[in-house]
Structure 1
Amino acid sequence: MTTLHLCIATGQNAANFIPLKQLQAQNIWVLETPDMQKQQSAKALHMALKSALPEAQVRILPFDDSTPQAMQAAALQLACEELDGKNVIFHATGGTKLMVLAIHQQLLNLGSYRLLYADTAHQTLSWLDDEPRQEPMVDNVLTLNEQLLLRGYRSSNDTRPAHIQQRASERAKTTKFMGEKSAQLKGFLGTLNYHARHAADGKGLTCELNYLPRAQSPAGNVLELAQQQGLLTINEAYNQITFASTEIAEYFCGGWVEEYVFLKFTGTLPPSQYTLGVQLTQASSKTQNEIDGIAVANNRALIIECKAKKQDKAQDAIYKLGQLVRQVGGLMARGLYISAIEVSDTDRNRAKEYGVDVLAAEELADLSKYLRDWQNNPSTAKTRP
Structure 2
Amino acid sequence: MPEHTHLYLVSNQATPNLTPALDPSIAPRRVILLVSPDMRQRADWLEAVLKARGIGVERWPIQDAWDVAHIQLRVLELLEAEQDRLRVGAPPRRDDQREAAIALNATGGTKPMSIAAYEAFRAYELPIFYVHPEHDRLIWMHPPGREPVDIANRVRIEAFLQAHGSRVQSMMTDAVPAARQTLGEWLVANQARLAKPVATLNWLAQQAEQTLRTPALERRHLRDRWFATLVDHCVEARLLTRTGDHLSFPDEAARFYLNGGWLEEHVFTLLRGLRAAGQPIQDLARSINLYRLDQRGAEVRNEIDVACLAENRMYLVECKTRRWNDGDTQGPGAEALYRLDTLVDLLGGLQARGMLVSYQRLPAAVMQRASDLRIQVCAGPRLPELHSALTSWLG
TM-score of the superposed pair, with normalisation by structure 1: 0.82
Tell whether the 8 Å contact from 1:120 to 1:332 is kept in structure 2 after alignment.
yes
* 2:231 is aligned with 1:230: no
* 2:56 is aligned with 1:57: yes
Tell whether the 8 Å contact from 2:161 to 2:167 is kept in structure 1 after alignment.
yes
- SS in structure 2 at match of 1:155: strand
Query: 2:323 and 2:3 mapped to 1: Cα distance?
Result: 60
Query: 2:369 and 2:104 mapped to 1: Cα distance?
Result: 40
What is the CA RMSD across the aligned residues, in angstroms?
Answer: 2.9
1:152-171 mapped onto 2 (5 Å cutoff): 152-160=165-173, 165-166=176-177, 169-171=178-180
The match for 1:273 is 283
The match for 1:32 is 35
1:15 CA displacement? 0.7
The match for 1:106 is 120
Tell whether the 8 Å contact from 1:156 to 1:281 is kept in structure 2 after alignment.
yes
Tell whether the 8 Å contact from 1:322 to 1:335 is kept in structure 2 after alignment.
yes
The verdict on how the C-alpha distance between 1:245 and 1:122 changes in structure 2, with shifts beyond 3 A counting, is same
Query: Which structure 1 residue ranges, 5 or more long, are not aligned?
Result: 378-385
Query: 2:3 and 2:201 mapped to 1: Cα distance?
Result: 65
Query: 1:331 and 1:34 mapped to 2: Cα distance?
Result: 22
Query: 2:234 and 2:300 mapped to 1: Cα distance?
Result: 39
- Partner letter of residue 223 of structure 2? L
- SS in structure 1 at match of 2:46: helix
1:102-181 mapped onto 2 (5 Å cutoff): 102-110=116-124, 113-160=126-173, 165-166=176-177, 169-181=178-190
Tell whether the 8 Å contact from 1:142 to 1:298 is kept in structure 2 after alignment.
no
Query: 1:339 and 1:228 mapped to 2: Cα distance?
Result: 25
Tell whether the 8 Å contact from 2:49 to 2:163 is kept in structure 1 after alignment.
yes
Query: 2:377 and 2:370 mapped to 1: Cα distance?
Result: 7
Query: 2:143 and 2:261 mapped to 1: Cα distance?
Result: 58
1:170 CA displacement? 3.7
The verdict on how the C-alpha distance between 1:373 and 1:304 changes in structure 2, with shifts beyond 3 A counting, is same
Q: Deviations over 1:58-92 (max 9, x none)?
A: 21211233533322332332232334665121111
Query: 1:198 and 1:6 mapped to 2: Cα distance?
Result: 55
- Partner letter of residue 212 of structure 1? R
The match for 2:201 is 192
Query: 1:338 and 1:221 mapped to 2: Cα distance?
Result: 24
Query: 1:3 and 1:252 mapped to 2: Cα distance?
Result: 52
Paired residue for 1:92, among 98, 103, 106? Answer: 106
- SS in structure 2 at match of 1:296: strand
The verdict on how the C-alpha distance between 1:63 and 1:199 changes in structure 2, with shifts beyond 3 A counting, is closer
Query: 1:228 and 1:249 mapped to 2: Cα distance?
Result: 15
- SS in structure 2 at match of 1:302: strand
1:24 CA displacement? 1.8
Query: 1:28 and 1:200 mapped to 2: Cα distance?
Result: 49
Query: 2:214 and 2:30 mapped to 1: Cα distance?
Result: 64
The match for 1:79 is 79
The match for 1:304 is 317
Tell whether the 8 Å contact from 1:206 to 1:243 is kept in structure 2 after alignment.
no
- Partner letter of residue 44 of structure 2? K
TM-score of the superposed pair, with normalisation by structure 2: 0.80
The match for 1:383 is none
- Partner letter of residue 335 of structure 2? D
Paired residue for 1:362, among 375, 378, 381? Answer: 381
The verdict on how the C-alpha distance between 1:368 and 1:250 changes in structure 2, with shifts beyond 3 A counting, is same
Query: 2:251 and 2:270 mapped to 1: Cα distance?
Result: 25
The match for 2:43 is 42
Query: 1:233 and 1:265 mapped to 2: Cα distance?
Result: 31
- Partner letter of residue 76 of structure 2? L
Q: How many residues align?
A: 361
Tell whether the 8 Å contact from 1:33 to 1:62 is kept in structure 2 after alignment.
yes
1:322 CA displacement? 0.1
The match for 1:182 is 191
The verdict on how the C-alpha distance between 1:231 and 1:287 changes in structure 2, with shifts beyond 3 A counting, is closer
- Partner letter of residue 274 of structure 1? L
**Higher mean C-alpha displacement, 268-277 vs 97-106:** 268-277
- Partner letter of residue 81 of structure 2? E
Query: 1:114 and 1:321 mapped to 2: Cα distance?
Result: 39
Paired residue for 2:336, among 312, 317, 325? Answer: 317
The match for 1:286 is 299
Identity %: 26
- Partner letter of residue 28 of structure 1? V
